[in-house]
Amino acid sequence: MPLPRLSRSQCAKPFVCLLCVLCASLIGSELPAGELPGAKPLTEQGDLAAKMVQGIDAYLMRELEKAAKGGADKWHVITESRTTGENPRRH
């Protein structure tokens, strides 16, 4: 069975892709590794993950408290229930 003939553009596509990858790898290897502008070395001591979790917890607790205080004007709580034992509803 004869192989199908490929057009010139079909033959060029893999070559162009290979050339792009080769050029990108050469250009990338020439760039010096350095610090980002404005970046400072990490000097914090101790368990950084625990400090991050504490900060996230403090932020979420503040936001939760703010949401609880700010939501009172948006909710009307019905305290009288039509039947006994029914929980109050919010509208």
* The predicted structure's pLDDT at residue 46: 94
CA distance to 9, 55, 63, per residue, from 74 (Å): 65, 29, 17
* Tens digits of residue pLDDT in 56-66: 999 999 999 88
Give yes or no for a contact between 40 and 55, defined as CB atoms under 8 angstroms apart. no
* DSSP helix/strand/coil, 77: strand
- Rounded mean pLDDT, 49-71: 91
The answer, as to whether pTM is greater than 0.85, is no
Does residue 1 carry a pLDDT above 70? no
Structure tokens at 74: 């948006």
